[in-house]
Structure 1
Amino acid sequence: MLFSFLAAPSFRDLTSRTTRSLLMESFWYMLGAIFHKGGSNLPVSVSARILVAAWWLFTIILASVYSANLIAVFAVPKTAKPFTSLKELLQNTDYKWGLIGGGSTEQFISTSTDPDIQAFWQNIVKFNETDSSVLTGDTYQHFEKVLKGRYAVLYGHERMSKEVACNVEYLGEKLTVYSKGLALPEGSPLKEDLDEIMLNLQENGILRMLDKKWLLNEWQCEGDARTNVTVTLTDIQSIFYVLFIGLGGALLSLILECLARRARMLLCSKTLNSKSNIEI
C-alpha cells in the first residue's frame, strides 16, 4: 500500500525515483518500522504519512507487548501441572475429583448433555461409591482433600478464607457458564416491582458491591506480583482497529489528493486555453 501511495500521480510529480527504487524503499521502510529503525526518507504526501503513522503506532504497541510477554516467560518460572484441561483430567487415572454437592452446580452437571461433562459426572458417581465426601456440601472438606494431593474439585463461586485461597492452584478453565435467577409464581403481582428493584440495584452498583463483599475472593497472596499473565490478541485488538482506521484515512486522503490534482490540471488547462485564445 505504501508503494501504491508513493507511486500515485499526486506524489509522482515530487520525485524522480524509479518504480524499483520506490518499491524497495517502501519494503525496507515498513520492515524497519517493526524493528524501530524506520527508513531513510519520510513520505511527502499526506496519505502516505497517515499510513506510515498508523503502521508505526501498530508496530510500537505490538513490539512492546511481545517484549513484555517474552520477559515474563523468562522472569516467572513455570511449574508443570498434572493436567491443564477437563479432557486431560478425565485421562488422568491418578486423580479423583468431586464438586460442591447439594446445589445448582450439582444439578446442572448431573443433567448436562456435554460428553465431557457427562464423563466427569459419571466418574464422580463412581468415586462416591467408596468416598461419599466427593459430593459433600462442605467446601472446606473438599479443599482439605485438594491440599492432601491427587484430588481436584469443581469450584463455583463460593467464598473461602485467605488461608485456603492462597494454598490451592486454579486450573483457570471454565467448565460452563450459567445464570441464576429469582423465580416467582406465574402471573405474580410482585414481578414488576421486583424487576424494577433489581434493575435499580444493578444500575446503582449495589449488586456488584454485595457480590464483592460476600462472594468474590480478592485476596492478595504472596507472590502474586510475579504471576505470569499472558497477553492475547483479544487483549490488544484495539491496536488493529487503530491500524484499520489509519488505512481508511490514508485511502480517503489519497482519493482527495488525486481529485485535487485532477482539479488543478483542469484549472491549468483552462487557463492555458484562455491565454491561447487571447493571444490569437
Structure 2
Amino acid sequence: MAGIELIISSICNATICNAVYDNPLTDGHVSQKQTETLLLANEINGKHLKIGTYNNFPLSWIERDENGTVQAYGVAFKIIDILQQKFNFTYEIVIPHRNFEIGGSKPEDSLIGLTNTSKVDMIAAFIPRLVRFRKLVTFSRDLDEGVWMMMLRRPKESAAGSGLLAPFNNFVWYVTLASVLCYGPCICFLTHVRSKLIKNEERPLRLSPSFWFVYSAFIKQSTNLAPEANTTRVLFATWWLFIILLSAFYTANLTAFLTLSKFTLDIETPEDLYKKNYRWVSVEGGSVQYTVKTQDEDLYYLNKMVTSGRAEFRTLSPDQEYLPIVKAGAVLVKEMISLEHLMYGDYLTKTREGVEEAKRCTYVVAPKPFMKKPRAFVYPVGSKLKSLFDPTLAYILQSGIIDYLEHKDLPSTTICPLDLQSKDRQLTNSHLMMTYYIMCVGLASGLAVFVVEILVKRYINIKIKPIDKVKLKKFKRSKRSPRYDDSGPPPYESLFVKPKFKDSEKRWKMINGREYYVYEDARGGTRLVPVRTPSAFLYR
C-alpha cells in the first residue's frame, strides 16, 4: 500500500493538491523554505504572466483561431495547464518574430532574446541547456534529455555493397588475396629447401604448378600433383584445411546476408557527414546551428561544411516541408521526437493513399545520435518563478507525465526501423553484380592470354615443339631405377590410359586362393589383375 500512496501523492502534488503543512507528524513546524513557497504562491495567485513559445512540434506549437487569437499547444503547455491549475494564474502567449531559440538581429527574434530582455516571464518550450545560454537566462530543473538524430532517405541497397562481397569486409578480402598469391611461392621455396637438405626421389615443385595448385584448391578443384614427402603433404593439407574453413564461413555469412533484410547505412555518425561530404540541413536559429558554430563545442568541425555550402539552416513550417529535401538526398538533423512524428505522419499519409506496404517506409533514422543535451523551461535571470515551479516540475517528471505526453500519439513499436523484418527477399542484379564482373574479367583475361600466345608464336619466332602422344614403354627394373611406391596416388595420365601388355608378359599367380595375372606397368611397377571373379569384368 505504501507504493500506491506514494504514486497518488506524487500525482496530487504535481496537479491540484496544496502542501499539507498542518500534518501532525510535523508538529506544526514550517521551515523557512516552505514559508517562502507559500508567500510566492500567494503572490502569483491571480497574476497574469507573459509566456513565450515557438513552433517545435510536438513539444510546442502555435495556432491562430478565427478571431486571430494565438493558442498554444503541445507537451509544454500541458505542463503549463498543470501549473496554472495549481497556482491559479492566467497567461498570454508571446511569439518571437523569427521562431529562433537564439540569434537574430533583434532580441524579439528569438526566445532567449525575449527572456534576456525580460519581455516575457518565462519560456514554455524545451530549450537545450547550453553553456552560452546559462549566462543569459535561468533554466528550470531538467525536464528531459533532448536527442538530435539524422534522418535520411532509405537506400535501395545496403552500404555493405554487393551480395557476393558482403560476408567479409575489405581487410579480410585483402588478406585472402594475399594468401592466394603468397602460398604458391611458399610451397615452391620450402620444397626447394627440403630437396637441398634431404636427398630423396621427390623433386622440388616449380612455381607454376604450385601456384595452380593453390588456385585450383581455392575454387575447389582437384590437382594432378602427387606429393610423396610428408613435408609437402602437410603443406597441401594445410591449404586445403584453410580453404574448407574459409568456404564454410563465407557460405554461412552469404546465406545470412541474402536472407536478412537489414540495411547498413552510409551515414551513421556526424563524422560520416564530414568525411563523406554529405549535404545536410537543420532548423535555422536552433541549438544545432549554435553548437556547430561555437568553437567550444565538439561539433565545431562541421562548421567547415556550413561555410562551403554543404550544410544549411532553414525555417520551414510545417515540418513536412523538409521531406522533399530529404527525398532529394540531403540529411535532416532534428530532435528524435520530432522525427518520429514526421515519419509516422508520412507513413499514415501513404497508407491512406493506398501505397503498398513495402514502399511506405521511405525514410530511416541513423542508429547513432547527432548530439544530446538536457532541456528545460527558461526564466529571466533572478526570476522567483523558478523556486516556485521547480518542485512541481520535479513531481511531474518523476511521475512519468512528460514521457507519456511526448509519446502518447506514437505507436509502441519502432517507426520504420532499419531492419524492416521482411518475410520475403528476392535477389536483384545488385546482389549478383560481382558475378557479372568476374565473368567479364575472366573473358577479358582469356582473350588477352590468347592474343599474347598468337604474338609469341607468330611474330617472335619461338618454336614450340609439339608434344607427341604418350608412348608407353617397358621399363626394366634395375638397381638405379627408383622403386614405385603404391602408397601414393596414381599418376594423372594413368586414369585415362589403358594398360597394354602382351600375352608373353603375363604371369599367372595364385594369391590367397585367387588367380591373378601379374604384369609390369609403364613405370616399372607390378600390377595384379583378378581372374575368374566378378571384379575381373572391370578390367576388360
Q: Larger Cα Rg: Structure 1 or Structure 2?
A: 2
Q: Where is the helix percentage greater, Structure 1 or Structure 2? A: 1
TM-score scaled by length of structure 2? 0.24
Question: Would you tell me which structure has more strand in proportion to its own residues?
Answer: 2
| Higher RCO by CA contacts (8 Å cutoff, separation 6 or greater) | 1
TM-score (norm 1): 0.44
